[in-house]
Amino acid sequence: MSEPLRIMLGIETSCDETAAAVVDSGRRIRSNLVLSQLDEHRPYGGVVPEIAARSHLDHLDGLVGRALEEAGVACADLDGVAATGGPGLIGGVFVGVMTAKAIAAASAKPFLAVNHLEGHALSARLTAPLEFPYLLLLISGGHCQLLAVRGVGRYERYGTTVDDAVGEAFDKTAKLLGLGYPGGPAVERAAAEGDPARFALPRPMLGRPGADFSFSGLKTAVRHKAAALCDGGGEALDRQDAADLAASFQAAVAEVLADRCANALERFRSSGAGGPLVVAGGVAANQALRARLAEAAEAAGTQMIAPPSWLCTDNAAMIAWAGLERLALGLTDGFDFAPRPRWPLEALTEGENAA
């Protein structure tokens, strides 16, 4: 006899998207609403934490109501309420956690504080029956890590960035090239019209042992190339120059990521583990990077798996799914849980949410 479906409400407020979703244990996404704050932050060229927190506070209650209505469920039908408990901008995380606690308390349902990175780490299991273990490349605006994923709450970090995260490098490159905000999609669009071989840019860490990353030097090289093209005069780059620089930058990132993943896959296999390379996080929506990482995985004798692009960027469906995965193991949280601006993924252990 099959187990009854469990239904989870998920809430995500860690950065500049206010999101609510309802997902069940049969991998059905019953609703998935995301309210972007891009227009509010665009004038500043980046996310302003105070503006983000206020926007979450203004919109979250209504969004949760709409998510429940669209899913055709009431609070009484839920089996739990999950919210991002960190890492993230603490004001926004606080809004989401307090809202989830209130709903859970009022409806006498379990509360689950989900590590935002675990939401990304498990997102590929929402859309396909992916088995443990697998190697995870987590790439986003604030994170760039390679980890062995051995189960829910069981992560071993192989490598991380020693300076900028790859998403941060994309954002800063977009700003340098005058491509607009958000930077990742802007660079990808410009790169599609550019020549990736025109500019010789560095490949930090390429060919070195291990699985750590570095993108600060690459970003600096882009700045120097852009300044040289403008003769230091400060005028805007020619459109084709910007496109060629974007393409050259993206190609350098792709080569570095592929090299680091090749090393990590070798270590992963040498530990006796099988499984594919899973790529998740906002930067995983970049199609050129996906294609290069798929080649690296194939060369290592495995496959690359990535969630659909809409599930790579911040969303509440992945938080609800991670909540369901944790609920199935009895990993619920008390109402004394404190939101966390920092919360390393490898700090998670079975049975507790370690700070």
The string of pLDDT tens digits covering residues 53-90 is 999 999 999 999 999 999 999 999 999 999 999 999 99
- Kindly report the CATH class assigned to 132-306: alpha beta
Residue 301 has pLDDT above 80, yes or no: yes
Q: With cut-offs at 50, 70 and 90, classify the pLDDT of residue 2.
A: low
133-189 residue pLDDT tens: 999 999 988 889 999 999 999 999 999 999 999 999 999 999 999 998 889 999 999
Provide the β-strand partners of residue 34: 19
What's the rounded mean pLDDT across residues 101-120?
98
User: For residue 78, what are its two tokens?
Assistant: 């839920």
Q: Tell me how far apart the alpha carbons of residues 80 and 9 are, in angstroms, rounded to a whole number.
A: 7
Q: In the prediction, which pLDDT does 354 show?
A: 41
Question: Taking the alpha carbons of 354, 111, 12, 211 in that order, is the dihedral positive or negative?
Answer: positive
Q: With cut-offs at 50, 70 and 90, classify the pLDDT of residue 42.
A: confident
Q: Tell me how far apart the alpha carbons of residues 130 and 67 are, in angstroms, rounded to a whole number.
A: 26
Q: How far is CA 143 from the centre of its chain?
A: 8
Nearest residue to 20 via CA among 318, 321, 314, 316: 316
Q: In the prediction, which pLDDT does 352 show?
A: 47
245-264 residue pLDDT tens: 999 999 999 999 999 999 99
216-236 residue pLDDT tens: 999 999 999 999 998 755 567
Q: In the prediction, which pLDDT does 235 show?
A: 67
Residues carrying CATH 3.30.420.40, the chain: 7-123+311-347, 132-306
Q: In the prediction, which pLDDT does 291 show?
A: 97
Residue 105 has pLDDT above 60, yes or no: yes
Average pLDDT of the chain? Answer: 93
CATH of region 7-123+311-347: 3.30.420.40
Residue 98 has pLDDT above 60, yes or no: yes
Q: How far is CA 185 from the centre of its chain?
A: 14
Q: In the prediction, which pLDDT does 5 show?
A: 95
What counts of helices (H) and strands (E) characterise the chain? 12, 10
Using a pLDDT cut of 90, give the percent of the chain over it. Answer: 84
Residue 38 has pLDDT above 50, yes or no: yes
Q: In the prediction, which pLDDT does 266 show?
A: 97
User: For residue 43, what are its two tokens?
Assistant: 């004038």
Q: In the prediction, which pLDDT does 351 show?
A: 44
Q: Tell me how far apart the alpha carbons of residues 83 and 288 are, in angstroms, rounded to a whole number.
A: 32
Q: In the prediction, which pLDDT does 232 show?
A: 57
310-353 residue pLDDT tens: 999 999 999 999 999 999 999 999 999 999 999 998 888 544 44
Q: With cut-offs at 50, 70 and 90, classify the pLDDT of residue 45.
A: confident
Q: Is the pTM of this model over 0.85?
A: yes
Q: Tell me how far apart the alpha carbons of residues 112 and 80 are, in angstroms, rounded to a whole number.
A: 7
